């Protein structure tokens, strides 16, 4: 009995094993469990010229103690007053005024 020079079955099985091993490695790399540090969801108060915003930020930072704080109650009342008060929007300064629109000449 003479052995064949190329045994196709053995080569096919070896290629199949290599393909499965490559798929397992690719899946392990794709589903790496290490994750970056989560981004903080607490918003940092922006620097504002409005003193009410600073007071509201202070009240938010002290937590439940703000319920008994008189300054916080006053700040919340002012915030509600501002929120529920209707004010017309003021026109923005857009430079020199536009000339009046020309009216259509009447039929003479």
Contact 62, 69 (CB under 8 A): yes
Query: Long-range pairs for 94-99 at CB < 8 Å and ≥24 separation?
Result: none
pTM across the whole model: 0.38
pLDDT for residue 94: 59
pLDDT, tens digit, for every residue of 61-91?
999 999 999 999 999 999 999 889 887 766 6
pLDDT for residue 90: 67
The sign of the CA dihedral 89, 95, 97, 98 is negative
CA-to-CA separations, 4 to 8, 9, 13, 14, 15, in angstroms, rounded = 9, 11, 16, 17, 19
How do the domains of the chain map onto residue ranges?
A: 51-84
Interacting residues of 78 by C-beta distance below 8 A, sequence separation 6+? 52
d(CA 16, CA 10): 10
């Amino acid at each position: 009995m003479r052995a064949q020079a190329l045994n196709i079955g053995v080569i096919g099985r070896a290629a199949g094993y290599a393909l499965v091993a490559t798929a397992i490695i690719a899946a392990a790399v794709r589903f790496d469990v290490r994750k970056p540090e989560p981004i903080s969801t607490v918003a940092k108060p922006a620097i504002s010229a409005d003193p009410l915003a600073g007071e509201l930020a202070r009240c938010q930072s002290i937590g439940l103690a703000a319920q008994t704080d008189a300054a916080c109650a006053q700040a919340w009342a002012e915030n509600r007053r501002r929120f529920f008060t209707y004010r017309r929007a003021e026109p923005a300064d857009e430079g020199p005024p536009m000339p009046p629109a020309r009216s259509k000449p009447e039929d003479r």
